[in-house]
């Protein structure tokens, strides 16, 4: 199946600093990428949907100025957590959606391995 990578796999940073997480689709072009966050014992929560070349669409309650998303190419999206605080510590997972078939409809979503962020 399709492969999605994330970098870094884990990061520890100090409160007030910014952290950038990269998500890459390795063997397909992803017109849409999704960013999720998962706190312990909770479900994955969609933070934002990112379409290549356009602004991301953020879910209700997610601060767009705090979680900056850039989707500059069909294989790369980045999430920057600005001025991170301990409550931002979480498991961040990206997902990329490929276009399938001649109809161009997109259904398959492939998940990256996740990035574990710890803010001290």
Partner 1 sequence: RKEVEQDPGPFNVPEGATVAFNCTYSNSASQSFFWYRQDCRKEPKLLMSVYSSGNEDGRFTAQLNRASQYISLLIRDSKLSDSATYLCVVRPFQKLVFGTGTRLLVSP
Name the residues that contact partner 1, by CB under 8 A: 32, 34, 41-46, 49, 91, 93, 95, 107, 109, 111-114, 116
Pick 46 or 82: Cβ nearer partner 1: 46
Q: Shortest Cβ distance from residue 83 to partner 1 (Å)?
A: 26
Pick 32 or 77: Cβ nearer partner 1: 32
What six digits make up the tokens of 82? 């600005």
Question: Position of tokens 């001290």?
Answer: 120
**Is residue 69 reached through a cis peptide bond, with omega within 30 degrees of 0 on the bond before it?**
no
Pick 88 or 114: Cβ nearer partner 1: 114
Enumerate the β-bridge partners of residue 50: 33
Q: Shortest Cβ distance from residue 118 to partner 1 (Å)?
A: 13
| Cβ neighbours of 70 (radius 10 Å) | 15
Q: Decide if 2 contacts 109 (C-beta within 8 A).
A: no
Q: Shortest Cβ distance from residue 46 to partner 1 (Å)?
A: 6
């Amino acid at each position: 199946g399709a492969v999605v990578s994330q970098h870094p796999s884990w990061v520890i940073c100090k409160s007030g600093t910014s952290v950038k997480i990269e998500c890459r689709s390795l063997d397909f072009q992803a017109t849409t990428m999704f960013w999720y966050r998962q706190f312990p014992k909770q479900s994955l929560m969609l933070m934002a949907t990112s379409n290549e070349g356009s602004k991301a669409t953020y879910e209700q309650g997610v601060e767009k100025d705090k979680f900056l998303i850039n989707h500059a190419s069909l294989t790369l999206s980045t999430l920057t957590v600005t001025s991170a605080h301990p409550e931002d510590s979480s498991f961040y997972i990206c997902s990329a959606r490929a276009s399938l078939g001649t109809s161009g409809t997109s259904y398959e979503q492939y998940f990256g391995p996740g990035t574990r962020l710890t803010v001290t």
